Chains A and B, each alone.
Chain A
C-alpha cells in the first residue's frame, strides 16, 4: 500500500482509535496515560514521516471496503443530530434552529443539488497542510501530555467523585483526529464534516466541568460555531453552483470565474466560517467564554490548533480572491481585529483573558496578511501561523501550571512569581520575549507583515497602533512576574515530570524554530508560492531579503546570543553584589516593602499595574469593537456581491 495513504489514515484514525480506547478502558489512570502517550508518539512519528513526502494528491474512494463518501455523509448527519440533541437537551432555540438548518442544507446539497460524481482525489497534502499536521500532531500531543498531570490535580482540586477523565481524553484525542482530517482532505464535504467535529469537541471540552458558567459558555461556543457551520455549507452550495465541483483545489483553480458574483460570495461565506472559528470580532465572546475550561483545553483548542482552522481556511482560499474587493476588505477586517484585540488585552488583568485577546489579535494579523494577498504577506501569514502556535501553546501551559500552583489566573496575583516558581516564571518570561522581540519568529513575521502592508494605509496604521499596544501588555506581564524584593538563589520548583516535558521542549523548540526560520521558509513556504504568487524572499547572508527589506536572522541570533551571555554573566556577578531594599524614601523597615508609617507603625508599600480600563476596558470597548467588526463583515459579504 502507498506509504502516503497509510500515514494519512494513521494521522486521522489513530487519534480516533486512541479516543475510543480511552473511553472504554480509560478508567485506570495508568492505562489512560499509556494510551495518550502512545497515541501522541504515533502522531508525532507519522507527522514527521509525512514531511519528506509532500506535496501529494491521492484518490480515496473506499475505506475498509465501504464507500468513503457515504461514510462521511452518514457521520455528518449523525454529528448534526448529536448537536440537535444537545440543543433540545439545553432547550437552546438558536442551536436547534442552526443544526436543523445545516441538516436541511446538507441533505439539499448532497441529495438534490450534486448530480455529477464527487471528486475522487480527496486527499490533498501540500506544505501548508503539512505545517498544520505538524502543529496539530506535535504541539497537540505535548498539550495532551501536560493534561495528564493537570487533570489529576484538577479533579483533586474540585473533589470530583467519579473521575470524568476518560471522557475528557476521549474528546481531546477525537479532536486531534478531526483536526488532522480537516487539513488533509480536499473534498469540501469532508472538510465540513471535520469542521463540525471540532465544533462539537470544543463544546464538550468547554462544558467539561459542568458548572453553570461552563455550560452556558459551552452553549455559546456551540451556537456561534454553528453560525460558522451554516455559513460554511451555504458557501459550499454557492461554490458548487459557481464551479460545479466540491473539490477545494478544483474550485480554486477556476480563475475565469474570479470576479463572478456567486463565486466570490461562496468564498466570502467560507471566510465568514473561518472568522467564526478564529473568534474574530464580533464572534470573540465564545473564545473568551471558553477560558473557563481546564487550561490544556484552552491551549489545545484556543491557541494552537482549533482557532488556526480559521486562518488555515483563509490561507487556502486566498489564491481564489487575489485582487478583489473581498481580499482588501479581509485585510482591513484582519487589521481591525489585530488592533482591537491588542487594545482589549491591555485592559485585562486576567492572565488567560490576555492570552485569549492576544490570540484573537494575532489571528487578526494573519487574516490581514491573507487579505493583502501578496507573496510577502502570505509568507508572513504562514510563518506567524507556525510560530504563534508553538509560543502561545507554551504560554497557555505555563499559565495552567501557575494557576494550579497559586490558585489564581490574575496577573496581580502573579506579582513576584519568580520567588515562588522560578523556572515556570522564567519560561513564561521567555515566552513573552519570543512574542515581541527580534530575532524570534513571531516578530520576524510581524516585520514581514508590516513591510507587506506598508502600501495599504488603513492596514499599516492599524498594525502600527496594535503593535505598540501588544508590547505594552506583554512587557507589563513579564515585569510583574519578576517583581520581587528578594534576590535569592535559583532553585527550580517541584512540578510533575510531564509538565516539564511539555514546557521544556516547547520553549527550546520555539527558540530553535526561530533560528531555523530561513530553512522553514525555504522548505515549507517557498514551494507554496505558486499560481498567483512567486517566492518573495531570498536567503542571503543568513537572513531573508527582498528588494526592499532585510531581516538578518542568523547574524542577529548570534548577536542576541552574545548579548544574552553577557547579561547572564552580569546576572551571575550580581549575586555577589550587595543586596539593598527597594527605595522607600529612606524610611523602610527591616522587612522588604515595609516602611515606617504614622505612629511608627509598619505599612506595606504597594503598587499595582496600570490596566487603563477607562480607555481599554471591556465595558468600554466591547460594544464599539463588535459594531466595527459587524460593519466590516457586512462590507466583506456585500463587497463580494
Chain B
C-alpha cells in the first residue's frame, strides 16, 4: 500500500520536475545549436510560475474544463506508468488528454485556434496507430502488455525491436511538437497560426497545458526506456541520444504540411512497424 502511494507521488512529482528540466535543457541545447547562449535551465519553471500568477482570462468557460481534464489525464497516464500498469491502458488514458486539449481549442471560435485544433487531430491521427503498433511489438516479444513483465524482460528490447524504436521516434517527434511535425503549435516563433492550438488558452490555463505537456514528455521518455530496460546506464544513454537527435532534427528541418506528414508518417512508419512485427511474429 505504501509502495503504491510512493509510486503515485513519484509520478506526480516526476512529471513537472523532470519534464520542466528536460524542457530547460532542450532550450539550452537548441540555443547552442543556433549559436546563442540560451536561458537558464530553470527558465521553463519561471515561465510557468509567472503564467500561473496571471489574471484568468477565458474565451469560453469550457476551456477551463478542458484544460483541467487535459492535465488530469496526462498526470493519470504517468502515474499509471509508475504503477507499472497495462501499457495499452496508459496509451488510452494519454489519448483522453490529447482529445480534451483539442476540444478546448475548438471551443474558441478564433480561426487560429480552430485550424490549430484540426491540425492537432491530424497529428493524433498520424502517431496513434504507430504507438499502438509499438505496444503490440512489446507484446509479441514479451507476451504481455503489463509493464511489470516488460521491465522484467531479461534482454534489451532495442535489439529485437530496432525499427519499432525508429517508429516511436516519429511519434515522439510529433508529441514533442518538433519540426518537421510542429504543425498545430510549437515552442518556436515561426508559427503562421500565432500559437495554433494554444492561441486562446491564456494565463493559468496556458500554464496547465504546459505542465500537462511535461507529463506527456516524461511518459514518452519512459516508454523509450523500455527499449533498454536491463541497465540504468543503457537507459540513460538511450534517452540522451534520443533526445539529442530530437533537438537536432528540430533544428535542421523545416515544418511541412499535414498531407506530407500523414502520408510520410503512415507510409514509412507502418512499413517499418510491419517489417519489425513480422520479424517478431516469425522469429
List chain A positions with a Cβ less than 8 A from chain B: 416, 418, 436-438, 443, 447, 450-451, 454-455, 457, 460-461, 463-465, 467-469, 471-472, 475-476, 478-480, 482-487, 547-552, 556, 559, 563-564, 566-568, 570-571, 573-575, 577-585, 592-593, 605-607, 609-610, 615
Contact = CB atoms under 8 A, between A and B. Distances in A.
Nearest to B140: A454
Given A549-B145, A573-B64, A482 B106 contact: yes
Which of B99, B102, B277 has the most chain A CB within a 10 Å cutoff? B99
B76 to A, nearest CB: 6
Contacts of A575: 61
A556 B83 CA distance: 13
A451 B132 contact: no
Interface of B: 55-69, 72-73, 76, 85-86, 88-89, 92-93, 95-96, 99, 102-103, 105-115, 117-118, 121-122, 124-125, 128-129, 132-133, 136, 139-140, 143-146, 149, 194, 199-200, 262, 270, 273-274, 277-278, 281
B88 A475 contact: no
Contact of B145 (A455, A548, A584): A548
Contacts of A482: 60, 62, 103, 106-107
Nearest to A577: B56
Residue from A567, A568, A585, A606 with most neighbouring chain B CB atoms (10 Å) = A567
Contacts of B145: 451, 454, 548-549
A614 to B, nearest CB: 9
A547 B140 CA distance: 14
A567 B68 contact: yes
Given A479-B103, A563-B73, A577 B114 contact: no
The 8 A-B pairs of least Cβ separation, nearest first, read A479-B106, A563-B72, A582-B110, A574-B64, A468-B128, A607-B114, A607-B111, A464-B132
Nearest to B55: A578
A610 B122 contact: yes
B279 to A, nearest CB: 11
B136 A583 contact: no
B109 A437 contact: no
Contacts of A549: 86, 88-89, 144-146
A471 B95 contact: yes
Given A566-B72, A577-B56, A483 B125 contact: no
Contacts of B124: 468, 471-472, 475
Nearest to B143: A548
B146 A548 contact: yes
Contact of B144 (A467, A469, A487, A547): A547
A431 to B, nearest CB: 14
Nearest to B129: A464
Nearest to A483: B106
Nearest to A563: B72
14 contacts: A454-B139, A457-B277, A461-B274, A472-B122, A479-B117, A487-B58, A548-B149, A564-B69, A567-B64, A567-B68, A570-B68, A577-B61, A579-B57, A583-B200
